[in-house]
Amino acid sequence: MKKSAKFSPEVRERAVRMVLEHRSEHPSQWATIESIAEKIGCVPQTLHTWVRQ
């Protein structure tokens, strides 16, 4: 059974854009991802997957 998408494509795009825009404010890309994932309510691994796509 396929999981329903919890986040809309717009939210995903915005989260990825935020990672790219705020990368310089954190010591690593992972730290950036962790910070933003917490703000949007997803696990860091999910956001990392979106960034890689």
The pLDDT tens digits for 6-16 are 899 999 999 99
Domains and CATH numbers, the chain: 9-52 (1.10.10.10)
Residue 2 confidence (pLDDT):
55
What percent of the chain has a predicted confidence (pLDDT) above 90? Answer: 89
Q: Which residues contact 42 (CB under 8 A, 6 or more apart)?
A: 6, 7, 15
Does the pLDDT at position 4 exceed 70? no
Among 3, 47, 8, which Cα is nearest to 29's?
Answer: 47
Quote the radius of gyration of the chain (alpha carbons, Å).
11
Q: Once rounded to an integer, what is the mean pLDDT over residues 9-24? A: 97
Does the pLDDT at position 40 exceed 90? yes
Q: Once rounded to an integer, what is the mean pLDDT over residues 22-37? A: 97
